[in-house]
Structure 1
């Protein structure tokens, strides 16, 4: 279960640029062991860029749920355990030739990465966190 995000912190983080949101997502996902997507009756919500079909991911329920407006108002934020992400989602997205748009803001601005890139960054951050705890 994740801790609700303070509204003031939500506003502050929402104003981060792409790179800072990416770094926040990596650290937050490793800390909480959860990554968030949006789903509807058809499955996972998808976004399209000029070059890629993408699955958007968020670091907290509140950011994912903030996207559930307009055409997506029936969507629900869904948490995915980080272990399940590593074991199922990364390979599944690669097999389906899908990219990931990391922590898009409400203007649909987010960094597009490949599943193996995100997986690698999450594992590097987890190793850093474990090393930091040993000190």
Structure 2
């Protein structure tokens, strides 16, 4: 009986330590604004109203020919010089990034994060989600 109480006590301690570490980790990420953040269409639209943001469409020229978000800058994710083109952008600006459905833009946001971009947002659902709500 005493052994099971010790095991229960140790298990409780470990669980509490894990929960505390998890909370600290997520609060550090939020407060430092590190990494990129996923936004739904409404949140993306709201961010677009912020002065100085750059909207990046990372779809192919064929895809953008079918329609795009007004004012977006085209930068083809599949182009061989995509990362080089990203390197020409100002890493201190705020970027709202989208593709067709959210996969390439998420990858682009990760690349941008790795390159030192400070404020990057990904449109969840991409242009398909945008079109469905607009």
Give the TM-score, by structure 2 length.
0.29
Richer in strand (by share): 1
**Looking at CA atoms only, which structure, 1 or 2, has the larger radius of gyration?**
2
